[in-house]
Homo-oligomer: A and B are copies of this chain.
Amino acid sequence: RRKRSQLKKDMEWHLKMLLLPRRNVSPFSHSPAASYTDSSDDETSPRDKQQKNSKGSSDFCVKNIKQAEFGRREIEIAEQEMPALMALRKRAQGEKPLAGAKIVGCTHITAQTAVLMETLGALGAQCRWAACNIYSTLNEVAAALAESGFPVFAWKGESEDDFWWCIDRCVNVEGWQPNMILDDGGDLTHWIYKKYPNMFKKIKGIVEESVTGVHRLYQLSKAGKLCVPAMNVNDSVTKQKFDNLYCCRESILDGLKRTTDMMFGGKQVVVCGYGEVGKGCCAALKAMGSIVYVTEIDPICALQACMDGFRLVKLNEVIRQVDIVITCTGNKNVVTREHLDRMKNSCIVCNMGHSNTEIDVASLRTPELTWERVRSQVDHVIWPDGKRIVLLAEGRLLNLSCSTVPTFVLSITATTQALALIELYNAPEGRYKQDVYLLPKKMDEYVASLHLPTFDAHLTELTDEQAKYLGLNKNGPFKPNYYRCWF
List the interface of chain A (C-beta within 8 A of B): 29-32, 35, 77, 80-81, 237-238, 241-242, 246-247, 249-250, 253-254, 257-258, 261-266, 268, 275-276, 284, 286-291, 295-315, 317, 321, 330-334, 345-346, 374-376, 388, 403-409, 444-446, 448-449, 451-452, 454-463, 465-466, 469-470, 476, 478-479, 482-487
- Contacts known (A300-B479, A449-B299); A456 close to B265, Cβ less than 8 A: no
- Whether A458 contacts B317 by the Cβ 8 Å rule is yes
Q: How far does the Cβ of A417 sit from chain B's closest Cβ, in whole Å?
A: 18
Closest 4 CB pairs of A and B: A484-B485, A287-B287, A312-B457, A299-B449
Point out the residues of chain B lying under 8 angstroms from A461, CB to CB: 297
Point out the residues of chain B lying under 8 angstroms from A406, CB to CB: 261-263
A408 to B306, CA, bound (A): 13
Chain B residue with the shortest CB-CB distance to A312: B457
Q: How far does the Cβ of A253 sit from chain B's closest Cβ, in whole Å?
A: 6
A170 to B462, CA, bound (A): 45
- Whether B238 contacts A448 by the Cβ 8 Å rule is no
- Whether B458 contacts A263 by the Cβ 8 Å rule is no
Chain B residue with the shortest CB-CB distance to A266: B306
- Contacts known (A288-B250, A314-B460, A466-B332); A261 close to B29, Cβ less than 8 A: yes
Q: How far does the Cβ of A304 sit from chain B's closest Cβ, in whole Å?
A: 7
- Whether A304 contacts B487 by the Cβ 8 Å rule is yes
| Contact pick for A309, options B81, B253, B266, B308, CB 8 Å | B266
- Contacts known (A300-B487, A302-B448); A482 close to B482, Cβ less than 8 A: yes
Q: How many copies of this kind of chain does the complex include? A: 4
Chain B residue with the shortest CB-CB distance to A372: B73
A407 to B260, CA, bound (A): 10
- Whether B291 contacts A284 by the Cβ 8 Å rule is no
Q: How far does the Cβ of A56 sit from chain B's closest Cβ, in whole Å?
A: 30
**Residue from the set A288, A298, A454 with the largest chain B CB neighbour count within 10 Å:** A298
| Contact pick for A266, options B261, B263, B307, CB 8 Å | B307
- Whether B458 contacts A312 by the Cβ 8 Å rule is yes
Could you name 8 residue pairs across A and B whose Cβ atoms are closer than 8 Å? A238-B303, A284-B287, A286-B309, A302-B449, A305-B457, A312-B455, A330-B470, A331-B466
Q: How far does the Cβ of A105 sit from chain B's closest Cβ, in whole Å?
A: 24
- Whether B487 contacts A306 by the Cβ 8 Å rule is no
Q: How far does the Cβ of A76 sit from chain B's closest Cβ, in whole Å?
A: 10
Q: A246-B289, A315-B460, A332-B469 are in contact. List 5 more A-B contacts (CB 8 A).
A: A246-B265, A249-B265, A257-B404, A288-B309, A301-B478
Chain B residue with the shortest CB-CB distance to A260: B406
| Contact pick for A470, options B305, B312, B331, B346, CB 8 Å | B331
- Whether A289 contacts B275 by the Cβ 8 Å rule is no
- Whether A300 contacts B265 by the Cβ 8 Å rule is no
Q: How far does the Cβ of A231 sit from chain B's closest Cβ, in whole Å?
A: 18
A29 to B284, CA, bound (A): 23
Point out the residues of chain B lying under 8 angstroms from A484, CB to CB: 482-486
Point out the residues of chain B lying under 8 angstroms from A407, CB to CB: 261
- Whether A276 contacts B31 by the Cβ 8 Å rule is no
Q: How far does the Cβ of A12 sit from chain B's closest Cβ, in whole Å?
A: 21
- Whether B297 contacts A309 by the Cβ 8 Å rule is no
Q: How far does the Cβ of A391 sit from chain B's closest Cβ, in whole Å?
A: 15
Q: How far does the Cβ of A112 sit from chain B's closest Cβ, in whole Å?
A: 12
**Residue from the set A264, A289, A446 with the largest chain B CB neighbour count within 10 Å:** A289
Q: How far does the Cβ of A307 sit from chain B's closest Cβ, in whole Å?
A: 4
Chain B residue with the shortest CB-CB distance to A472: B297
- Whether B452 contacts A302 by the Cβ 8 Å rule is yes
- Whether A266 contacts B455 by the Cβ 8 Å rule is yes
A456 to B295, CA, bound (A): 13
Chain B residue with the shortest CB-CB distance to A478: B298
**Residue from the set A30, A246, A295 with the largest chain B CB neighbour count within 10 Å:** A246
A126 to B334, CA, bound (A): 47
- Whether A303 contacts B268 by the Cβ 8 Å rule is no
- Whether B309 contacts A265 by the Cβ 8 Å rule is yes
- Whether A300 contacts B445 by the Cβ 8 Å rule is yes
Point out the residues of chain B lying under 8 angstroms from A309, CB to CB: 265-266, 286, 288-291
- Whether B241 contacts A250 by the Cβ 8 Å rule is no
Q: How far does the Cβ of A187 sit from chain B's closest Cβ, in whole Å?
A: 25
| Contact pick for A263, options B250, B299, B483, CB 8 Å | B250
Point out the residues of chain B lying under 8 angstroms from A250, CB to CB: 257, 263-265, 288
- Contacts known (A298-B478, A403-B257); A465 close to B333, Cβ less than 8 A: yes
